[in-house]
Structure 1
């Protein structure tokens, strides 16, 4: 890995690398479909994300290699006096760079981006089956303040 990680908005050419990273872990291997060609659902989702000014799919790159990904969604709320918040989702790094600071840089970049967008809060969730991820986010200053609920449809 080179000395400086570059961040940029993802392009459709990055989609193969992104899906490969999403599929390359204990949970992603059960819910993603990394195959060639990629299922059209990924392209459809990519187009929806990139056409929405309140969504950013961001990749971390080492030279031209995509080594990390995250999605940031900016949402206005009536609460907090009409404040905006940023939600970070789908954070993954290439297996070969895990535990080398790439995830930390991704999250720091997302926090800075949220500040640039005027957000008063950055939020994220992590699966309860990922205790290491929870510790990782707590080391970056995130606090467990709420119980999250999901309803699978």
Structure 2
């Protein structure tokens, strides 16, 4: 699979990240690669929050994957900290290469290092391939999620 580096995202990575976010039917409806300003602002907020990790996977100097990992301290489950994996995207040319598994395994390892007792994620109901992918990695569809658009 070649050398792969997983590192914290920086401003120069934003165009590649947004391109991956927009590279599917759902993302194309909600992302706007034409104006990167809100994404750069969001990266600044994420970078200043110690409970957030926005990372990129880089191969041969090219961003080929990304995900956001959030640590959520809580009172339930005897004061457990959980992590939330969001925004997992793999460059179209890298899909099926095992890169997605490596990114998720990285997130799980980081969650363990932070003392998390639970790793959770959501994926759109229409992403049936993603559902199978997460199940192969040991995740179970244990809850029903709800969203309220503001």
TM-score, normalized by length of structure 2? 0.97
Q: Determine helix, strand or coil for the equivalent of 1:45.
A: helix
Tell me whether 1:129 sits opposite 2:126 in the alignment: yes
**2:77 paired residue among 80, 83, 90:** 80
CA distance in 2, matches of 1:75, 1:48: 16
Tell me whether 1:16 sits opposite 2:15 in the alignment: yes
TM-superposed CA distance for 1:43, in Å, is 1.1
Gapped regions of structure 1 (runs ≥ 5): none
**1:113 paired residue among 102, 110, 113:** 110
**2:96 paired residue among 87, 96, 99:** 99
CA distance in 2, matches of 1:40, 1:16: 10
CA distance in 2, matches of 1:81, 1:131: 33
**Structure 1 moving runs of 4+ over 6 Å:** none
Superposed CA RMSD: 0.9
Report the count of equivalent residues: 150
CA distance in 1, matches of 2:77, 2:3: 36
